[in-house]
Amino acid sequence: MERFAGVLFLLGAFTLAGTSVIAGRFVVATLGTFTITVVSLFFALLGLLPLCGRKLGQSIWQMAQRDWASLFIQALFGIFLFRMFLLQGLLHTSAGEAGILTGATPATTVLLAWMLLKEPLDRIRFLGIISTVTGIVVLQGLFSPDIVFSTEHLIGNVLVLCAAMCESVFNVLSRFSSVKSALRSAQVLDPIVQTTLVVIIALLLCLGPALTEHPAAALLSLSIVGWAALVWYGLFVTALAFILWYAGIKRCDAAVAAAFSGMMPFTAMILSVLLLNEQPGWQQWLGGLLVVLGMVLTGLKVRSPKRQESCCI
């Protein structure tokens, strides 16, 4: 039952995370990267703080120095760097293609989990990594000489890939922190409290860079659609998605989380067609199919002949 609940939490988290590409597209041409992040995190806190109540103060009082270090790294990679690379990438590439490229997250997560957490990397998961890499190469037009992307477009794609790698680091570090807390019988933070603390840390990290973007004038000129995108980015892409993520990663290993991170490119691709009227070519669809195949393969459960492993802590 715990494993099933973890799967549902992860599914919801990454489906919401996939909408970040679309929400960012509505505001990235008007607002600076860090301004978008700060305002969306502010809206996230407005939704999170009433849910925390007294638990926030009690948890802060009981946290050790290593817990703060772990939360800082999660905020750095999961929000600050991820959004910086993603939003900068969206200035140079399409939302649909950016969404597909976030599908590199499962492969890089599995590799990091294998190296850092000693989670198994069998033949099927290795094939999943190969499929993901091939899909990304196809997206770049390397197999079709008649399709040439501009340097700016390629730079945008590289920035989105950097965002995917940051997401992978965040996934593995979150799982590592959860496992370590369980092993030393330490207090496991409530998902809402953990999300709130990570959001506060990320907000502090982004505040200085946001002020250099002179955000006041841009915010005053923002349309209703832009403000709605920021509210969605804060309350759903940040607050709710992170709560679901922390609830799920406490119950499942990093490889299972890697599989569901493939919902990000799938959601972004579909919404880019429905909401932004983007029309991906055959190369984008083929590359996306290979990335999705890689997602499925890397997420398959590895079972040892000697013992059956469980993804639950």
User: 88: Cβ–Cβ under 8 A, 6 or more apart, which residues?
Assistant: 33, 156, 159
- Written as six digits, the tokens of 220 are 């005053």
Angle ∠(69,72,73) on CA atoms, nearest 5: 90
Rounded distance, CA 109 to CA 296, Å? 13
pLDDT (tens digit, 9 = 90+) per residue, 66-118? Answer: 889 989 999 999 899 999 998 898 888 877 777 777 767 777 777 787 887 77
* 165 and 133 Cβ atoms separated by less than 8 Å: no
Smallest CA-to-CA distance from 35 within 239, 168, 221 is with: 221
What's the number of CA atoms in the CB half-sphere (13 Å) around residue 58?
9
* 87 and 36 Cβ atoms separated by less than 8 Å: yes
**How many C-beta neighbours within 10 Å does residue 258 have?**
31
120 DSSP 8-state letter: -
Main-chain dihedrals φ then ψ at residue 206, nearest 5 degrees: -90, -15
User: 127: Cβ–Cβ under 8 A, 6 or more apart, which residues?
Assistant: 297
* 14 and 268 Cβ atoms separated by less than 8 Å: no
- Written as six digits, the tokens of 25 are 């597209």
Could you read off the pLDDT tens digit of each residue along the chain, which spans 313 residues?
A: 677 788 889 889 988 988 988 888 899 889 999 999 999 999 999 999 999 988 898 888 888 888 899 899 999 998 999 999 988 988 888 777 777 777 677 777 777 878 877 777 778 777 877 887 777 667 655 555 555 556 777 888 889 889 988 988 887 887 777 666 655 555 667 889 989 999 999 999 999 999 999 899 899 999 999 999 999 999 999 999 989 988 888 887 766 776 677 677 778 778 888 887 877 677 777 877 777 777 677 656 555 444 333 333 2
Placement of tokens 């609940």 in the chain: 5
Smallest CA-to-CA distance from 94 within 216, 225, 269 is with: 269
What's the number of CA atoms in the CB half-sphere (13 Å) around residue 282?
3
Rounded distance, CA 43 to CA 222, Å? 16
Centroid of chain to Cα 135 = 19
pTM for this prediction: 0.76
